[in-house]
Amino acid sequence: MHKVGVLVSGRGSNLQAVMDRIADGYLPLEIAVVISDKADAYALERAAKAGIKTVAIERKGCASKDEFEDKIQAALVDAGCELVVLAGFMRILSGSFVNKWHHKIINIHPALLPSFPGLHGQRQAFEYGVKFSGCTVHFVDEGTDSGPIILQKVVPVLDDDTEDTLADRILVQEHIAMPEALKLWAEGKLQIEGRKVRILA
Ligand code: GRF
């Protein structure tokens, strides 16, 4: 079974979706460790409840960003991870960290990239007035939300939406998209050709 490490910062609903799809047999993966940069993240409780190893590594407890990332790296290697999943991890990883995990970091972003990268993808889309938004699962490269796209899910933006109702509609799709992308990865069906990710039959 492939081992993955999940990096989180907050409530961990995407982590929960992945754990649920592992538990029901859809996803042939093992979460070897959940690492949070916030010691009080609810995501850590979710993981602990499922018997998954948890580690809190806070930036403020480290002298430098290098030290912070070295600790994350050590925890991932320690747990034998082959892939890093960013599930609501709210920090930008440095180029040197990303290069250690070339094409082995997967992120979920709550907008249809390349539109609305960075923070608050849902708010950006809502304020811009687009008619459709959604979520994107992608490999991480050195840029922000700029790596090769694995899959996207589209939702309509309705006239009576608020930022919150739109975010909720997107989140439902996030919880489908991330397990789907991870399953394709676990089954060896993702082939990266430059910017493009081909999904093998
Ligand atoms: C999600 O909207 C995800 O797309 C974004 O941060 C949020 C995390 O939510 N990167 P959760 O912690 O998985 O509930």
pLDDT of residue 114: 98
User: Whose CA is closest to atom 8 on ligand 1?
Assistant: 88
Residues 30 and 96 in one domain: yes
Examine the domain organization and report whether 82 and 160 are in the same domain: no
Alpha-carbon distance of 58 to 72, in angstroms, equals 10
137 and 178 both lie in a single domain: yes
Looking at the DSSP assignment, which residues form a beta bridge with residue 118?
Answer: none
pLDDT single digits (tens) 64-107? 999 999 999 999 999 999 999 999 999 999 999 999 999 999 99
Q: Which of 53, 81, 101 is the last residue of a domain?
A: 101
132 Cα to the center of ligand 1, angstroms? 19
The DSSP secondary-structure symbol of 60 reads G
80 C-alpha to ligand 1 centroid (Å): 25
Q: Same domain for 7 and 61?
A: yes
Domain boundaries, position 155:
108-201
- Same domain for 95 and 142, yes or no, is no
What are 7-29's pLDDT values in tens digits? Answer: 999 999 999 999 999 999 999 99
170 and 113, same domain (yes or no): yes
User: Per-residue pLDDT tens for 139-162?
Assistant: 999 999 999 999 999 999 999 999
Contacts of 25 (CB under 8 A, 6+ apart): none
Q: Verify whether residue 109 is a known catalytic residue.
A: yes
Q: Say if residue 32 is in the same domain as residue 82.
A: yes
> Are residues 51 and 128 located together in one domain of the fold?
no
If one counts the domains in the chain, the total is: 2
Is pTM, for the whole model, over 0.95? yes
Q: Do 83 and 164 have their domain in common?
A: no
Instruction: List the beta strands (DSSP E) in 26-180.
Output: 29-36, 54-56, 83-86, 105-109, 132-139, 149-156
Q: Could you write out the DSSP letters of every residue in 101-136? A: TTT-EEEEESS-TTSS-SS-HHHHHHHHT-SEEEEE
Q: Are residues 87 and 163 in the same domain?
A: no
